[in-house]
Amino acid sequence: MRGALIIGLTLLFAVAGARAWHTGASFHAAPGAGGGGGVFYTGSPLDRGWTCAACHVDAPGRLRVDIQSEPDLFVSRTYTAGQSYALTIRIRNEELGLQSGRSNFNGMALSVLDDEALPLGRLSGGDEFFIRSNASGTAAFIASQSTTAGQTEWTFSWTAPDAEAAVPLTFYLAVVDGNGANSLPDETRTDPFGDDVAVAPIRVVPE
């Protein structure tokens, strides 16, 4: 795809299911609610560097993901201060959960941080996303609510910081291809085994 960055499992890897990003006493929480005490497991410093591998095992290691923006951001690896970017995350090769129509939940989570692990810019999206802001009102995280079976694409916006705050940033992205716990078409089940995940940090710098 023109203008798209392809993310595989070459940087970080893990596994997750339809309800990924859970730990400990928070297994009941949806990924968009930051299951695990608010940790999203994107590998960011605010997640203590943890990825989905903290909870999930046996990733096939085949997941490939396109991440693109309009205007271009991820191919040039540069951003314009104050510019708004339409971001699209897309699973290229969904293989898992196709036989589990009611349980085929996929998901994504993203955070944008500077080198001091402070969120910069502003993330925004519709009702299909969970967005968490920090104390200053900056939207630090965005995650899919994972309530639509078979979803393989997510589109939302990121607005770059103003010129006075423009510094190098890292986009921490995690994407899940859930296998629906290999359930039957009329079942709704999930578990943390055998799903696939692509997790990657993407560095960008101001123009």
> Which among 187, 190, 176 is positioned nearest to 60, based on CA atoms?
176
Residues 65-119 pLDDT 10s: 999 999 999 999 999 999 999 999 999 999 887 888 788 888 889 999 999 999 8
Please, which residues have CB within 8 angstroms of residue 42's CB and are 6 or more apart in sequence?
51, 109, 110, 111, 172, 173, 174, 199
- What mean pLDDT do residues 41-62 have? 80
- Give pTM, 2 decimals: 0.81
Element (H, E) at 132: strand 129-133
Triad 157, 168, 136: Cα angle to 5°: 60
Residues 117-132 pLDDT 10s: 998 899 998 888 888 7
Q: What is the DSSP letter of 47?
A: G
Residues 134-173 pLDDT 10s: 666 667 788 888 778 889 999 999 999 999 999 999 999 9
Contact, 183 vs 102, CB < 8 A?
A: yes
The answer to whether residue 28 scores a pLDDT higher than 60 is no
Mean pLDDT of the chain, nearest integer: 79
Rounded CA separation 139/133 (Å): 4
The answer to whether residue 22 scores a pLDDT higher than 70 is no
